[in-house]
Amino acid sequence: MIAIRPRRLRRTDVVRSLVRENRVHVDQLIAPIFVAERAEDAGPIASMPGVDRLTREATVREARELYELGIKSVLLFGIPAHKDARASSNYDPQGIVPQTIRALKAALPEMVIVADLCNCEYTDHGHCGILDAHGDVDNDATVALLVRTAAVYAEAGVDVVAPSDMMDGRVGAIRSALDARAFAGVAIMSYSAKYASAFYGPFREAAGATPQFGDRRSYQMDPSNAREALREIALDVEEGADIVMVKPGLPYLDVVRAARDNFDVPIAVYNVSGEYAMLKAAIAQGWIDGDRAVDEVLTSFVRAGADIVITYFAKEYARRHG
């Protein structure tokens, strides 16, 4: 009887590389950037070591460095100087995100600029939309606000808008509005399966987006549900989403796999702030090998079926593998 010895193909680095099934390419990565309108709001984020809020000028410098490393896509989050109940700074053509889009396109015209499309950073109450008389997020009023903001971002030159609010019907409304305004070339990357997760804490510090009351579980998904995620993705694809996203990443690899098995569209996954902070804390304590752990985590997303990985580890990964 012939001996079956799989170890033959694990003998050396070269052999292992030859038969490797999944690889994370630098050009699959999107680097998130927090852009602060006021210089005094820029600086290090305590819960996310190695990540800073940047001014617009510093964002352009950061984007140049990322591009030279092979990371040619960024995801912008704005930190406005002014917040109010209607998120007016978000749809202001002179707001921080439109200004940054224009600056990046002038400096790096080939870079793919993705703009997160939500309101939580811009509202004084910290929720993702307009509140009704009962203090609940008004779905349709919020969708109208997202449509208005998407048009402003498109005018500024954005390549992709990424609605992250989890309002019903927003993808179709945004797609129709962009097409009607001659922005058919602007793509939509929808946060289709965005869970009400405990792993967003550091992001909320970074973006100043903690709800002032209640939580977001009435519009973000219940962590226990997977079939519902497939329904949400199907609705977004039907409404015109070009890319769909699962967020967070590590606790929802099963959802990424299910999305890959059921939909023939690009799948993105967001390696979120809490996942980043968790690894960074363990690395700082010397409890795990940082480089190997980061590589393993990013590979898990691709192995599960993701085409695109949004990660705060993008730059450090590219420095080692670019």
Tokens representing residue 163 in the block: 């609605």
Tokens representing residue 238 in the block: 């039907």
Catalytic residue among 83, 247, 280, 315: 247
Pairing of strands 43-44, 52-54: antiparallel
Q: Kindly report, residue by residue over 144-185, the tens digit of the pLDDT.
A: 999 999 999 999 999 999 999 999 999 999 999 999 999 999
pLDDT score, position 203: 85
Tokens representing residue 167 in the block: 């309002």
Q: Which residues contact 147 (CB under 8 A, 6 or more apart)?
A: 170, 173, 174, 177
- pTM exceeds 0.85, yes or no: yes
pLDDT score, position 211: 76
pLDDT score, position 182: 97
Q: Which residues lie across from 247 on neighbouring strands? A: 194
Provide the sign of the torsion angle of the four alpha carbons 158, 304, 297, 27, taken in this order: negative
Catalytic residue among 83, 194, 280, 315: 194
Q: Which residues contact 14 (CB under 8 A, 6 or more apart)?
A: none
- What single DSSP character describes residue 30? E
Which residues of the chain fall below pLDDT 50? Answer: none
First to last CA, the chain: 45
SS3 content of the chain, % helix, strand, coil (to 5): 45, 20, 40
105 carries an active-site annotation: no
247 carries an active-site annotation: yes
Domains, the chain, with CATH or none? 19-321 (3.20.20.70)
Q: Which residues lie across from 163 on neighbouring strands? A: 117
Number of other CB atoms surrounding residue 62 within 10 Å = 18
225 burial (CB, 10 Å; 0-12 / 13-18 / 19+) is middle
Q: How many CA atoms lie within 13 A of 181 on its CB side?
A: 17
124-to-42, 131, 145, 188, 198 alpha-carbon distances in Å: 19, 11, 15, 26, 22
pLDDT score, position 213: 67
